[in-house]
Amino acid sequence: MSLADDLYRETILDHYHHPRNSGTIEHPTVRTEGVNPLCGDEITLYMTVDNDAISDIKLDAHGCSINMASGSMMSEAVKGQSLEHAQEVVRTFKEMMLGPSPDVFLPEELEDLEALQGVRKYPVRIKCALLPWNTLLEAIEKARAGSKIP
Ligand code: ZN
């Protein structure tokens, strides 16, 4: 175990034990659900959208440490951001997890996400890490579709 691995593990465990933005929103703009049957991870995502920006996001999640930590980091990364920027963050994260090289550029506010890079070594767990992000993408699409209705 290198020092970096230890730091990464600490970051993941911190988010797992103290998930950020955990809970529900009573009247969200959109609500989406995600399941990863392979592992038993389950997520319900609540999002409030104001002026094309994510003003609030909450996750009601039950799953493994990778899934919970990934969701917690995701919520921190996109809360307060525009839908467009959030989509860009999802793209960056997916590139890091699925692209040819994990060495993608992460701006300072996304540095925690680097802790999940190591999951690339365990293909089965990549689904755990991606579940919150795919659930977010669905929420963004739903919010966009909804906003077209006058
Ligand atoms: Zn899992």
Q: What is the pLDDT of residues 38-81, one digit of tens each?
A: 999 999 999 999 999 999 999 999 999 999 999 999 999 999 99
Q: Which of 41, 50, 43 is nearest to 22 (CA)?
A: 43
**Ligand 1 center–CA 38 separation, angstroms:** 8
CATH class for the domain made up of 3-145: alpha beta
Look at residue 3 and tell me whether its pLDDT is greater than 80: no
Look at residue 147 and tell me whether its pLDDT is greater than 80: no
**Ligand 1 center–CA 135 separation, angstroms:** 14
The domains of the chain are located at 3-145
Q: Tens digit of pLDDT for each residue in 12-26?
A: 999 999 999 999 999
E-strand spans in 37-124?
41-50, 53-62
**Ligand 1 center–CA 98 separation, angstroms:** 17
In whole angstroms, give the CA distance from residue 59 to residue 147: 22
Look at residue 1 and tell me whether its pLDDT is greater than 90: no
